[in-house]
Amino acid sequence: MLAPDGSLRPHWHTFVSKLDNLGQAELTRRWEQARQLIHENGVTYNVYGDPRGMDRPWDLDSLPLLISAEDWKALEPALIQRMHLLNALLKDLYGAQMLLRAGAFPAELVFANQGFLRPCHGIRPPKDLYLSLYSADLTRLPGGQWSVIADRTQAPSGAGYALENRIVLSRVLPEIFGTCQVHRLAHFFQKMRQSLAAMAPHNRDNPRIVLLTPGPYNETYFEHAYLARYLNYILVEGGDLTVRDQCVYLKTLGGLQRVDLILRRLDADYCDPLELRSESTLGVPGLVQAVRAGNVAVANALGSGVVETPAINCFLPQLCRTLLNEDLKLPSVPTFWCGQKSSLQHALANLDKMVIKPVFPMREFEPVFGARLTEAEREELSARVRARPHLYVAQEQVALASVPALDGGQMQPRQAVLRSYLLAHDGSYTVMPGGLTQIPSSSNNLIFSLQRGSGSKDTWVLSNAPVSNFSLLHQDGRAIELSRGGSDLPSRVADNLFWLGRYVERAECAVRLMRGVIARLSERSDAGEDHVLPELLRALRYLRAGQHALAWDPEPELSGGDVLKFVMDESRSSGGLYDTLRCVQDVARMVRDRLSNDTWRVLRGLDEEVAWPAAEDTVTASELLDILNRIVIALASFGGLASESMTRSQLWRFLDIGRRLERANNMTGLLRSALVRVAKDEPPVLEAVLEVSDSLMTYRRRYLSSLQPAPVLDLLIADETNPRSLAFQLVALDEHVTHLPKDRAYPSLSPEQRLTMALCANVRLLEIDALARDDQGVRERLDETAVRVEKDMVALNEMITRGYLSHVLPSRQLASYGRGAE
Amino acid sequence: MRYRIRHSTCYVYTEPVSLCHNEVCLRPRNAARQKCHQIELDVSPPPDTMARRADYFGNQIEFFTVQERHKRLEVTCQSEVTVEPFAPPMASLTPPWEDVAETMRGNDACRHLEAVQFVYESTYVRYHEQLAQYALQSFPARRPVIEGALDLMHRIFKDFKYDTRATNVMTPIAEVFDLRRGVCQDFAHLMLGCLRSLGLPARYVSGYLQTTPVADQERLIGADASHAWVSVYCPSFGWVDFDPTNDTIPSDKHILVAWGRDYADVSPIKGVILGGGQHSLKVAVSVTPIN
């Protein structure tokens, strides 16, 4: 930002004067907004071993890094040259290996490298593009010279965060962003779509491209979901894909759909448990053979991680002359690979100026700063390196140029690393005009790594001319409109939606019952006999424990404290409310990319704002009531969003099937546990059941205040206009299964259709008076009916799982042998 | 010697398998002393796709997929192979082991790439300091490399007990070393670990032993099954095989199938299945000399 003489560098002038106009107070206010935006959009970075676990919020600094047009003009071709060079190197290593034979590249860096995938040797990717995407971690030395700290060739991450940073910052500082002539990022992503489509071995006009993620527990899962949505690719996990006839298919509700290109964010060795890492459960068995047969393309090519080693820096200048007949334009931070004798000696002699890194990623070895070691530690490290020198690299600890960052409202200098992104495009390479600038979280921390908790900045590459406002977010006029209904929904996603529906409904039912219990607690005048409470408590237990709860009778005289304890114990038991709410979060996270931002926010709010108490002595009844009310409202907003904002796709159907199934089950459970045994004083029980079922208002409107079993049962079982009734759920389920993709094996009616039709007919034919009849204190017919419906719900659940969700099964390794001991 | 070899593998499942992808490494490869005359690979049920290729090490690999539901998978490979006897080098005339290790590093390495790739760690052969210590007893300074390897083989044979129950496919060599027990795979991995810890190039060899005993000769351990041994590289001579399970230098009673860095590169059958419940495995190998 500042020139050596302390003056402001010219390309910062516009920005700084605009920022001054804004004023500190306004900036702070807007920054609060930005944090809120980031939080609500759920921008996260998962850190392994972080006590906060999943979803560490993304740390974005409010000041962008500005790069002048002149600087960029010099940097761009240098980056392009480097990507070109690395691609050429990969082509040789996975092909003729001339460089190894000539001794131009050391064999150790290939043969001792787990990133060198022998099964992939000889496979040529389309257009010889081993690298479709590449990223370089750059830093500026104090003299202004850019240099490379690290190359990312496996599956470069962070481009999506760069995009999100840009979106946030351009909203927070719109007037500054507008006047600074900042290059837009959207063109880069548009080119990415074009290039990847052009790499598809078949069907280039309209290829099916999937983004393969390791899953929601990966540290950059947010980004995978974000990019997939932005680029309009289907986000898949290994289990969503299958190989048949040496082709890759996506398992969808509508059957198998051919996949043309896989953009992978999964490390290559995990991609195929048959030919690569056998213990991987994240990959697709048979994938390597499908790639070898030329039936699917993978970007970056499987095996591209082999050049992702800091040792490469030592050889690039020479390789550049050999392979490209050019001088290397972009230097690396001075690097010494200890596999060479002279480098080893130099590194050990200058240990206090060096950072020692593993040559290949090693879990048990973090980078070590020589200067920070004691004499004894230094001896130990030297011995370790000398024993197996080819496994270590020494990098000179360089002083990095600093950039301004906001810390507690103050501008502070921070060292920074820019992660830049490149793309193979149209026979050449193109650089994203921007990138992800990383800053260490405190000024004395020198390690840059998202995994280790660095913050980030937006990166503005300035133009000397006005820039276009192109954006992919509001694009229309795409060349080919995708003509896909819901049938390409991956079965796994449908499965998760189904369970999301079930869990949300189960939670709602539990909360309503608890609320009924707690509300009664505060209303009752004394601890005298209460006929309602035992029924509600039994219903609550039934929800969690099923059948077994029916024979259970609560103590006749429970104190307020006892009841509270019972409720808390239930909620904390396995399968109780606390578990159910956790499941809602877990399942929702797995389908994050399928939920609207609003829906996600509602579910996140449920997790963050509603802290479920640990035990009964940490909460009072009225506090608990308040918590329960908030949960009911959150769940209701989820339901509202689902019914008002989701298109009636298969996605929505599976969510709703889950809800309806669960609600039908909960209704039969409530009837069995509260109304089959006739209570001594029944009207209050009827009232409570209606209240828990959210049907009390309707009842009162129809029948005024006379509470009798037959009209109550009619409303809860047979009334198809009551969204809480059993009949309503069954009719809805019947409608859903009619619209599920058809299996060709059943040209007329599918088994699940037959079942739901029969269920609907049966419920319409029920004689409500017979159900309501009190036969020596028990309603036998009501119980029979409820049991039958419960059974049919289990059967329906199985049919849907088998018919639509069954390819969710994991695959397994066959026992191997051949060790000479059979 | 000319042999007829039949190697059959049968998996039986309690539940149907709806899809399986497999990779088999069963075709004996041709080599300097070995020629494979005819070869037949049968898979039942018949695979929907089958593709053959040479892997990175030159072994013959078959990939196949069975897409129909099945409860039984059978793979049989029958072949006829001629093996010439081996004339080992004069051990005392081979180069000092340090020189061989040195050749594998630095500027000369590029002239011995075939061997250099077998110097490093691999899935089953990890580096362990105690293996280096154990190996050094057989490799005092300047000892000829083949002499050292012979001594190492004798010691492994003597110090370790053949025991089919002590280990399984996944047992790491450090544990084999502590147990002092194992089977041919373990001894091969162990010897590889020792040699590579000194920087010497050595590869894993899978194959068979003649199964019908010749009169008056003791039957070797590892017959009636697939066998494994190691091969050590000696510059200017070539590869020399060592069978630490039988304490012998393989000649024309060992039939080669494939070589790689370790078992993971050359296991006879690999497979990933969908469904299947429990499965049981039956393997039968016969190696009959013919005239």
| Whether pLDDT at A511 is above 70 | yes
Disruptive mutation site among B77, B122, B198, B272 for chain A (greatest number of A CBs within 10 Å) = B272
Is some CB atom of chain B closer than 8 A to the CB atom of A482? no
Q: Specify the pLDDT at position B217.
A: 59
Residue A387 to chain B, least CA–CA distance (Å): 10
Mean of the pLDDT values across residues A505-525?
Answer: 85
For A319-362, write each residue's pLDDT tens digit: 999 999 999 999 999 999 999 999 999 999 999 999 999 999 77
Cβ–Cβ of B21/A285 closer than 8 Å? yes
Mean of the pLDDT values across residues A200-204?
Answer: 86
For A495-510, write each residue's pLDDT tens digit: 889 999 999 999 999 9
Mean of the pLDDT values across residues A375-402?
Answer: 90
Among A110-114, A143-147, A770-774, the least confident range = A143-147
For B10-63, write each residue's pLDDT tens digit: 999 998 898 999 999 999 999 999 999 999 999 999 999 999 999 999 999 999
Q: Specify the pLDDT at position A48.
A: 46
- C-alpha dihedral (A102, A104, A109, A112), degrees to nearest 10: 10
Sequence ranges of the domains in chain B = 2-83+267-290, 91-263
Among A420-429, A512-521, A663-672, B17-26, the least confident range = A512-521
For A644-680, write each residue's pLDDT tens digit: 877 778 888 999 999 999 999 999 999 999 999 888 8
For A730-786, write each residue's pLDDT tens digit: 999 999 998 887 655 566 788 889 999 999 999 999 999 999 998 888 999 999 999
Cβ–Cβ of B55/A119 closer than 8 Å? yes
Q: Specify the pLDDT at position A598.
A: 83
Smallest Cβ distance to A246: which of B19, B49, B169? Answer: B49
Mean of the pLDDT values across residues A61-86?
Answer: 94
Disruptive mutation site among B9, B21, B273 for chain A (greatest number of A CBs within 10 Å) = B21
Q: Give the list of residues 6+ apart from residue A173 with CB closer than 8 angstroms, or none.
A: A19, A22, A30, A62
Is some CB atom of chain A closer than 8 A to the CB atom of B272? yes
Identify the band that residue A479 occupies on the pLDDT scale cut at 50, 70 and 90: very low
Handedness of CA B122, B127, B132, B133 (dihedral sign): negative
Please tell me the distance from the alpha carbon of residue A750 to that of residue A738, in angstroms, as a whole number: 8
Q: Which residue of B has its CA nearest to A813?
A: B272
| Whether pLDDT at A683 is above 50 | yes
Which helix (DSSP H) or strand (DSSP E) does residue A628 occupy? helix A621-645
Name residues 99-118 of chain A within 8 A of B (Cβ): 100-103, 106-108, 111-112, 118
Name residues 336-365 of chain A within 8 A of B (Cβ): 339-341
Is some CB atom of chain A closer than 8 A to the CB atom of B109? yes
Predicted ipTM of the assembly: 0.94
Per the CB < 8 A criterion, the answer to whether A779 and A675 are in contact is yes
Of A253, A238, A251, nearest in space to A283 by CA: A238
Q: Which residue of B has its CA nearest to A289?
A: B63
Of A548, A562, A634, nearest in space to A598 by CA: A634
For A700-744, write each residue's pLDDT tens digit: 998 887 889 999 999 999 999 999 999 999 999 999 998 887 655
Is some CB atom of chain A closer than 8 A to the CB atom of B211? no
| Whether pLDDT at A588 is above 90 | no
Name residues 241-300 of chain A within 8 A of B (Cβ): 242-246, 273-275, 278, 285-286, 289, 292-293
Taking contacts as CB-CB distances below 8 angstroms, the residues of chain A near B245 are 820
Taking contacts as CB-CB distances below 8 angstroms, the residues of chain A near B274 are 809, 811-812
Q: Specify the pLDDT at position A444.
A: 45
Cβ–Cβ of A388/B19 closer than 8 Å? no
Taking contacts as CB-CB distances below 8 angstroms, the residues of chain B near A275 are 23
Cβ–Cβ of B272/A814 closer than 8 Å? yes
Mean of the pLDDT values across residues A440-448?
Answer: 52
| Whether pLDDT at B227 is above 80 | yes
Q: Specify the pLDDT at position A445.
A: 43
Residue B62 to chain A, least CA–CA distance (Å): 11
| Burial category of A795 from C-beta neighbours within 10 Å (exposed 0-12, middle 13-18, buried 19 and up) | middle
Taking contacts as CB-CB distances below 8 angstroms, the residues of chain B near A289 are 21, 51, 63
Mean of the pLDDT values across residues A2-29?
Answer: 82
Cβ–Cβ of A97/B67 closer than 8 Å? no
Assign domain B2-83+267-290 to a CATH class: mainly beta
Residue B227 to chain A, least CA–CA distance (Å): 5
| Whether pLDDT at A102 is above 60 | yes
Name residues 141-160 of chain B within 8 A of A (Cβ): none
H/E/C letters for each residue in A652-685? HHHHHHHHHHHHHHHHHHHHHHHCCECCCCHHHH
| Whether pLDDT at A485 is above 90 | no
Q: Specify the pLDDT at position A622.
A: 86
Identify the band that residue A476 occupies on the pLDDT scale cut at 50, 70 and 90: very low
Q: Specify the pLDDT at position A691.
A: 92
Smallest Cβ distance to A820: which of B20, B105, B222? Answer: B222
Q: How many CB pairs under 8 A join A and B?
A: 147
Q: What is the mean pLDDT of chain B?
A: 92
Sequence ranges of the domains in chain A = 10-333+398-461, 490-645, 678-806
- A402 — phi, psi (to 5°)? -105, 160
Taking contacts as CB-CB distances below 8 angstroms, the residues of chain A near B244 are none
Identify the band that residue A403 occupies on the pLDDT scale cut at 50, 70 and 90: confident
Q: Specify the pLDDT at position A487.
A: 55
Q: List Cα–Cα distances, A345 to A55, A195, A610, B99, in angstroms.
A: 44, 45, 60, 21
Q: Specify the pLDDT at position A57.
A: 65
Q: Specify the pLDDT at position B215.
A: 59
Give the pair of three-digit tokens for residue A259.
């996949």
Smallest Cβ distance to B110: which of A102, A814, A815? Answer: A102
List of E strands, chain B: 2-27, 34-44, 49-54, 60-66, 70-83, 161-162, 181-182, 202-209, 227-234, 238-242, 254-260, 269-275, 279-290
Which helix (DSSP H) or strand (DSSP E) does residue A770 occupy? helix A768-772
| Whether pLDDT at A484 is above 50 | no
Cβ–Cβ of A819/B273 closer than 8 Å? no
DSSP-assigned beta bridge partners for residue B202: B232
Is some CB atom of chain A closer than 8 A to the CB atom of B288? no
Taking contacts as CB-CB distances below 8 angstroms, the residues of chain B near A103 are 107, 109-110
Q: Specify the pLDDT at position A454.
A: 67
| Whether pLDDT at A482 is above 50 | no
Q: Give the list of residues 6+ apart from residue A806 with CB closer than 8 angstroms, or none.
A: A491
Identify the band that residue A168 occupies on the pLDDT scale cut at 50, 70 and 90: confident
| Whether pLDDT at A3 is above 80 | no
Taking contacts as CB-CB distances below 8 angstroms, the residues of chain A near B269 are 814, 816-818
pTM of the model: 0.82
| Whether pLDDT at A46 is above 70 | no
Name residues 668-727 of chain A within 8 A of B (Cβ): none
Identify the band that residue A799 occupies on the pLDDT scale cut at 50, 70 and 90: confident
pLDDT > 70 in chain A, percent? 90
For B48-92, write each residue's pLDDT tens digit: 999 999 999 999 999 999 999 899 999 999 999 999 999 999 999
Taking contacts as CB-CB distances below 8 angstroms, the residues of chain A near B119 are 111
Smallest Cβ distance to A811: which of B106, B127, B272? Answer: B272
For A241-271, write each residue's pLDDT tens digit: 999 999 999 988 777 889 999 999 999 999 9
Q: Give the list of residues 6+ apart from residue A447 with CB closer than 8 angstroms, or none.
A: A367, A440, A454
Among A272-286, A367-381, A525-539, B65-79, the least confident range = A525-539
| Whether pLDDT at B225 is above 90 | no
Question: DSSP letter at A717?
Answer: I
| Whether pLDDT at A494 is above 90 | no
Residue A297 to chain B, least CA–CA distance (Å): 18
B91-263 shares the fold of B2-83+267-290:
no
Cβ–Cβ of B274/A811 closer than 8 Å? yes
Q: Which residue of B has its CA nearest to A281?
A: B272
Is some CB atom of chain A closer than 8 A to the CB atom of B53? yes
Mean of the pLDDT values across residues A2-15?
Answer: 79
Q: Which residue of A has its CA nearest to B126?
A: A112
Taking contacts as CB-CB distances below 8 angstroms, the residues of chain A near B109 are 103, 106-108
What CATH fold (topology level) applies to the domain B91-263? C8orf32 fold (3.10.620)
Of A117, A153, A132, A126, nearest in space to A291 by CA: A126
